[in-house]
Every structure is written in structure tokens, then in C-alpha cells.
Amino acid sequence: MDEIDYGVVVVSHLGRVIHMNHAARQTLAGDHPLEVVGSQLRARLLEDDLPVREALAAAAGRHRRCMLNLGPARARVSVVVVPLPQSAQVPEGATLLMFNKRQVCEELSVEAFARGHRLTGTETQVLKALCAGARPAEVAQTQGVQLSTVRTQIGSIRAKTGAATLRDLVQQVARLPPMTTTLRVLP
């Protein structure tokens, strides 16, 4: 599960962490609305505590899945709560929590997409900027080139990828499976 670039946590029905992948450890070390205290997964905000506990109880007891929206209004995040079937490796009442994507298009996915479509280095940089939400004029300004140059590069990217529009292009990349680097510094 460490190769998945989404945060994934498996907890008991009482919130005890059974397993947490690398992306989840990174996410929870930041300002995520959930945190791990000792071995317990808990909500940072009091108003999120009851919904989290209710979701875990519903997953364990009634096998109900749900999506939670947690955190302050300006920085809400989604967490999917999924009951897991009991097995030799999974205890009764275990629940999977999946965190939302950290960004629309993961950098490694964009790079793999670019290599797969034989984009140049400059086209790859343009694509990364577009996937990060930059407009063509912003890309031109950042790269210190004319807008017409960026538009030509976008046309070339679209031709190589078969994307009919800029929106189609970004959607192609956004739908890619998340990738994570295998090179990590161990704690």
C-alpha cells in the first residue's frame, strides 16, 4: 500500500490504527483534520469527533460506507470510510479510510504521461503548470516567453496526446492512477 499516493489507513472500530501507508503518515503529519495520538486515530477539531466516531461504528457494525467532510470550512477535506470484510489478516470491525488526492495531477503521473506521449522537456513543464491550474498566460509569464509560444506548445501537446481541447488534456492527466516514488528516506 506504500506505492499508492493516496493516504490509506486501516483502523479498528474504536479507531486504533492497524496499518497506515506512507502517504497517510505524510498527510497526517501536516495539518489534516485527523491525527494519530499514540495508536489512536482522532479528529483534531471537536466538531469532527462525533462524525468520525459514528462513521467508524456504522462501518464496523452495519457495514455502511460513507464520505466525511472534515476540517474548517476554508480547508475541508474528504475522507472515505469503507468497512473491510473479516479475514485471517483483517480483524472483525476493521475499516479502511482513504484520504482525498493531495493534488489534481500527481507530478510523477504527469511525468510518466509526458514520457509515454514523447513530450519534450519544455512541453512537460507546460503540462505540469496547466495541471496545477495555471492559465496559458501565467505559464508564459513564469517561463519568460510569449503567450503565442505557450499556445504553440499546448497545440503540440494536444496533437501528441490526442486531446481535443485543453480541458480534455487536463482531464486525461487527472484520471491517471496516482504514482509515488520508490525512493524514500526511511524514518
180, part of any domain: no
Lowest mean pLDDT among 1-15, 62-76, 124-138, 173-187: 173-187
pLDDT recorded at residue 183: 46
- The total number of structural domains in the chain stands at 2
pLDDT in tens, 35-94: 999 999 999 999 999 999 999 999 988 889 999 999 998 888 899 999 998 877 777 889
Whether 17 and 39 have beta carbons less than 8 Å apart is answered as yes
- 155/135 same-domain check: yes
pLDDT recorded at residue 184: 47
Which residue segment(s) compose the domain that 91 sits in? 8-99
pTM (two decimals):
0.65
74, part of any domain: yes
